[in-house]
Amino acid sequence: MQLIYQSYSSVKFDTNQILSIVHNYSYDMYKETADWLLERTKIRPKVAIICGSGLGGLAEVLDDKTDFPYSDIPHFPTSTAPGHAGQLVFGRLEDHECVCMKGRFHFYEGYTCLSLQVTYPVRVFFLLGVKTLIVTNAAGALNGSYKVGDFMLIKDHINMPGFAGQNPLRGHNDERFGVRFPCMSDAYDPDLRALAKQTAKEQGLDSLLQQGVYGMQSGPAFETIAECEVLHRLGADAIGMSTAPEVVVARHCGLRVFAMSLITNILVRDYDSNEKANEEEVLESTALRTKDLQTFIRNFITKI
């Protein structure tokens, strides 16, 4: 029996469509996306960059750019978050061929399941031949020694949605991507972090450089004071609404990962404070550091 579901917007889905949305994309769908892209660019990227909120300017570091709006790419989700442009940019950085996501997908945008749309591009990168994933994001600081404008090298994460059952690898495991139970204790590559420290030092950014644990919560609401307290006690140094799902999927398919947060605000920890987390502050703080981050990523990639 073929059940037809009618949504509020009167678009009709049949059971197969719903299953394909709720369960998994097939390997063939990822492959179709990768092949479509490979047919349209000569770039064969080994490095992929995911740009965080307001950090899409990172794509500017690439030369000989070809860009594809997400809406043109078969099976690709589209980006709805503020500060996220929605383009996949291929290009070169000296000898390095790269692909850059100008705009990422977040769980809070309403995608049905973390495993599907939010991490879709990561498996496409894998099929394009990418070996290293660089992730940037904006985050609020819990660690009392961090300042707005600092860069935090992510040495580990706490995936709060994962604790609540939203692990992106939940469901059928396709061994062509990776094993059923992938290791995550080595999620953030220590050699790449060492290279990042060296790069920051050469650029004179070492006074801004921190290293810490990123706590992911699903958003879109910012954290309550009690939630900040919980994540701080669990060991998080900063909180954001992204990154962990992409990193889990990248590690599952064997990509090396480097991730960095730009500290855009200090989280409110005191009930007497009049400070309030807000999107404007996040985007303003990001804009102030875009140039430094662009230079840093350019120098870093040339060293990989």
Among 265, 296, 300, 301, binds ligand HPA (CB under 6 A): 265
* Contacts of 20 by beta carbon, 8 Å cutoff, 6+ apart: 26
Residue 48, amino acid: A
CA distance 250 to 244: 10
CB 193, min distance to ligand HPA, A: 21
| Chain position carrying tokens 């303003």 | 284
Interface with ligand HPA, residue 239, by CB under 6 A: yes
Burial of 182 (0-12, 13-18, 19+ CB in 10 A): middle
Interface pattern 184-223 for ligand HPA (x via CB under 6 A): --------------------------------------xx
Among 45, 86, 240, 245, binds ligand HPA (CB under 6 A): 240
Q: Which two three-digit tokens encode residue 210?
A: 């921190």
Interface pattern 28-47 for ligand HPA (x via CB under 6 A): --------------------
Which of 100/241 has CB closer to ligand HPA?
A: 241
Interface with ligand HPA, residue 135, by CB under 6 A: no
23 CB neighbour count, 10 Å cutoff = 14
Residue from 140, 128, 152 nearest 212 by CA: 152
Residue 282, amino acid: V
Residue from 128, 133, 104, 122 nearest 39 by CA: 128
Interface with ligand HPA, residue 140, by CB under 6 A: yes
CB 130, min distance to ligand HPA, A: 25
Interface with ligand HPA, residue 268, by CB under 6 A: no
| Chain position carrying tokens 């850059």 | 100
Residue stretches of the annotated binding site: 53, 84, 104-106, 138, 223, 242, 265
Interface with ligand HPA, residue 139, by CB under 6 A: yes
Contact footprint for ligand HPA (CB under 6 A): 138-140, 222-223, 239-241, 264-265, 267, 277, 282
